[in-house]
Structure 1
């Protein structure tokens, strides 16, 4: 005991300290609720006890094949049981999971496998052709494991040296796995979209994954044994950490190979789904679904919507079909959601329009995130809480990435001034809630005036003929830039450019209204986000 500070004489030891890791959630659910259903996939029903044993078995199989600390194991598969198990087994072996985006091309996949140094990759049969092409580009290819999912009826030939179930069988289900020596160790590698050059490798640690998974349940008030539908890709920010959240709640994972209205509604009705997540386009898909089909869903369904402000029409539509929607915000670099629009009881007494305005905000930090604010991009000072002064959204805390793999310059830039800089522009309102105005690169500067593309898109979302819209800058000789709206109409609906422009001019300042309207389907990412970089290229090609 020291004379100056007796508290320092109490050391950390095995009895009072353990590394935080979401793998511990699986051990808990497998031990406490071994007979409860953990995974539903077609006719398959797998309990938590079985899932825990299988993940230990797979972890041992990986270890026997030389996979160890910080080795990368990749997977190219949709939301199926193997993808879920891979969120635990590599970590139990000390390895790092790299869940690959199933919509990527061979060149990008080859870059990711090579840059991440993957030693093994699991490949669902549906994606065997593109993965074979990607692997052929590598000087040192990884070991390839085929996943023969019985729910897939394609005829693609296998490309690996062993099938997934045979690999699992190589291991011991009683494998004595250990928590990481250091919770700062990497648990997963997620690549950004790479819209401006090669994608960056975002590294997550065990501590952050544990905390974000736990906070998902806390912030959403998710009950034990919730039934969760996998509409959100598990490759996207590790499914926003929900593979680990559902283990912590001993819930049921309902797997889904195809994200479309009919299979979503069928799964919700059949399995009495209580929770699901997705980009605005996923929720809009349900709003626009057949009313008779939606009537099959008798329970209250809770949804998380992420990103910039979801269209007002979508929030209204979700209320109309009886779904409870919560708005969250985050990025790949923050493990997915790291902020939410925390609801207040008195909001229920507000008008629909006022509720939509409240719920469309990005809100406040997750309880386990240290800080979220908006700062002046020049001075770094926090902006006043006046709902008007524009700045950049920044995060700090335990649910921010370790950094970018093999990219110290980008890491240092992202963490400049002790904050993670999001690149999103927004304001802080009087109640402390944050509202995004736009991505920095999406602000349209017309005649010296800043125009928020999100504001224009929100107006367009209320047009009865419009299913989806995206607004970007088009070069203009006089104004520098003007808004260009790309619009996808609802099936069977028609509209003209003049009608759309007139609709906007009735509802907002004229200088903010689109000067150009282009009709057609919108390019989207695998998570439903509109690929604005493609639209910016198209707008530039239209000329001034």
Structure 2
């Protein structure tokens, strides 16, 4: 017997086993009316109503539906209301500029775009058949209709297209299939030991690699979701206390926010010996991991992956053999990217690049067959990261071979930032690199050669803000006389990075 794996399996099980359990506690303070507390029975009904609404709009199986929103119960439900009925969800980074969002919507071919009220201005710039501002439920749900069934479900059909910045100025659309998402979620849930006793706080953007798969995994075991619209350290601690949160996923900047809020917290830190925080995006310093273990009393788990790998590649979680070690030594070991997850193979090629094989590597880049073939050459996914596999079998990321900066957990294409800076008349040459930063992991930094005209760093940063999302804009501008190049004129960024990274063991932070 063969039965196709689809993402709807997770909500179907939750509705059958936990129909009257509170599934989601929505963000109470948001421009769109909060859905409040809804049960799994109600969540499943909303997913069907959303599918019925898309039926009425004439969106076929395989049609793309874009969603521009902060974390919300509506976006969480859309993973099932859209993808669960054979259509393709395109969750868009709401932090992007209007032009960037317009490119993604156009490139994906989305016929329907839903936007949070805070981003209604984006819709004005889009040329699409159907566009709606969230908040009026009739825009999203047809509550009195039953959706057409997905007659021929296919686990290899594209479930989501997630756009990611890479080595090109334009983001690439990562096609993740139902099989990709299903296996990533179940393997992730296995390694993090989730259960129906969990309460999951959405500190990770749901658009970001589909919340790494936790929207699926936690739903499948009947755990409770607590929505957080905007990261705030004090609010994270408050919700851990109020709702009994047991798990969250986070970039290093989110961990820093919780640590910064802890000294001003009145009473014991909530969640001690209960919360596990799962980090990715960049390896935090050993000292940060120590502080999570000592000051918060939370379990620290690190994973490594990319949007293209759904994203799980490796997992690093404290082992029984480490229990007697000092906090510092445990933290040092937890700073590695981790050991391959179940069903994942990892190797390092002769050039030091990390390669991986798994059942949840991307199907391809949307409408970019050449980029797909290059990334999947030899039936291995080429991560673009440099690393080693140590004697324990753990992957250690040591360098980033592709021209990407990871700041606050978000990928930034240095080429894209360079293009923005070069469009300023006084800029003659430019190189953009990431430098170590304790808060953001890496700081987007522009090294600029001018034509001699008067120009300031604030001038250039403001100029970038006209065309780039805020997190992509340089936070630092250094004016230099020249940039190092080879005899053939190729820019040698490794030399520019040396000044900032020379005292570091790894060329990532």
Matched, 1:352 2:327: yes
* Structure 1 residues 486-518: Cα deviation after superposition (integer angstroms, max 9, x where no partner): xxxxxxxxxxxxxxxxxxxxxxxxxxxxxxxxx
Find the aligned partners of 1:413 and 1:20 in 2 and give their Cα distance. Answer: 28
Residue 108 (structure 1) aligns with: 100
Evaluate the alpha carbon distance shift between residue 472 and residue 228 of structure 1 in structure 2; reply closer, same or farther with a 3 A threshold.
Answer: closer
Task: State yes or no: 1:71 paired with 2:74.
Answer: no
Give 1:529 shift: 12
Q: 3-state DSSP class of the match of 1:247?
A: helix
Report how many residues are paired: 430
Decide whether aligned partners of structure 1 residues 308 and 179 sit closer, same or farther in structure 2, where only a CA change above 3 A counts: farther
Task: Rate the CA distance shift 1:358–1:442 in 2: closer, same or farther, 3 A.
Answer: farther
What's 1:372 paired with?
346
Partner residue in 2 for 1:281: 253
TM-superposed CA distance for 1:541, in Å, is 5.1
- 1:22 and 1:179 map into 2 onto residues whose CA distance is 15
Who is 2:189 aligned against? 217
Measured after TM superposition, the shift of residue 368 of structure 1 is 3.2
Within-5 A mapping of 1:441-520? 441=402, 457=436, 461=438, 467=439, 470=442
Alignment of 1:229-378 (within 5 A): 229-291=201-263, 292-293=265-266, 295=268, 297-299=270-272, 300-320=274-294, 321-369=296-344, 371-377=345-351
Residue in structure 2 matching 1:538, options 477, 488, 495: 477
| Contact 2:52–2:142 under 8 Å retained in 1 | no
For residues 206 and 474 of structure 1, what CA distance do their matches in structure 2 show?
40
Structure 1 residue runs without a partner (length 5+) = 1-15, 149-162, 378-390, 445-452, 462-466, 477-519
1:500 maps to what in 2? none
Q: Secondary structure at the match of 1:211?
A: helix
Partner Cα separation in structure 2 for residue 423 and residue 233 of structure 1? 23
Q: Work out whether residues 58 and 171 of structure 1, in 8 Å CA contact, stay in contact via their aligned partners in 2.
A: no
- Contact 1:394/1:419 (CA < 8 Å) preserved in 2? yes
Partner of 2:397, secondary structure, is strand
Q: TM-score, normalised by structure 2?
A: 0.78
Q: CA deviation at 1:254?
A: 0.5
1:481 corresponds in structure 2 to none
2:8 — aligned with what? 23
Residues 48 and 426 (structure 1), Cα distance of their counterparts in 2 relative to 1, 3 Å cut? same
Return the alpha-carbon distance in structure 2 between the equivalents of residues 471 and 83 of structure 1.
Answer: 30
Tell me which stretches of 4 or more aligned residues in structure 1 moved more than 6 Å.
471-476
Unaligned 5+ residue runs, structure 2? 29-33, 406-432, 449-460, 484-509
8 Å contact from structure 1 (residues 145, 164) kept in 2? no
Q: Secondary structure at the match of 1:209?
A: helix
Q: Judge conservation of contact 2:55–2:148 (CA < 8 Å) in 1.
A: no
Q: Distance in 1 between matches of 2:66 and 2:446?
A: 40
Residue 388 of structure 2 is matched in structure 1 by 427
Displacement after TM superposition at 1:543 (Å): 4.8
Q: Is the 8 A contact 1:200 1:404 kept in 2?
A: yes
Flag the 1:355–1:51 CA change in 2: closer, same or farther, 3 A.
Answer: same
For residues 186-231 of structure 1, give each alpha carbon's deviation from its aligned partner in whole angstroms, at most 9, with x where no partner exists. Answer: 0000001256311111000000111111112101011223100111
Distance (whole Å) between structure 2 residues aligned to residue 351 and residue 530 of structure 1: 37
TM-fit CA distance, 1:285: 1.0
Report SS of the residue matched to 2:261.
Answer: coil
Contact 1:59 1:171 in 2 (8 A): no
Structure of higher RCO (CA pairs closer than 8 Å, 6+ residues apart): 2
Q: TM-score scaled by structure 1?
A: 0.73
Picking from 111, 116, 121, the partner of 2:113 is: 121
RMSD, matched Cα:
3.0
Separation in structure 1 between the aligned mates of residue 481 and residue 236 of structure 2, nearest angstrom:
38
> Would the aligned equivalents of 2:11 and 2:220 in 1 still touch at CA under 8 Å?
yes
For 2:208 and 2:57, the matched residues in 1 are separated by 27
Q: For 1:412, which of 373, 392, 403 is the aligned residue?
A: 373
Q: d(CA) in 2 for partners of 1:179 and 1:280?
A: 43
Aligned to 2:87: 95
CA gap of 1:77–1:541, structure 2 versus 1, over 3 A, is farther
Q: 1:107 to 1:63 in 2, by over 3 A?
A: same
Kindly tell me: are residues 165 and 267 of structure 1, through their superposed partners in 2, closer, same or farther at Cα, counting changes over 3 Å? farther
Per-residue deviation at 1:337?
A: 2.6
Aligned to 2:173: 201
Q: Verify the 8 A CA contact 1:23 1:179 in the aligned structure 2.
A: no
CA shift digits 1:421-459 (9 cap, x unpaired): 000000110111110001014799xxxxxxxx99x94xx
SS in structure 2 at match of 1:289: helix
Larger Rg: 1
Change (3 A) 1:73 1:472: closer
Report SS of the residue matched to 2:383. Answer: strand
> 1:278 & 1:529 partners in 2: Cα distance?
20
1:54 to 2:54 alignment: no
Secondary structure, in 3 states, of the residue corresponding to 1:131? helix
Q: Contact 1:122 / 1:146 at 8 angstroms: preserved in 2?
A: yes
Deviation at 1:75, TM superposition (A): 0.6
Q: CA deviation at 1:27?
A: 0.6
Alpha carbons of structure 1 residues 433 and 46: separation in structure 2 relative to 1, 3 Å: same
> 2 CA distance for matches of 1:529 and 1:342?
33
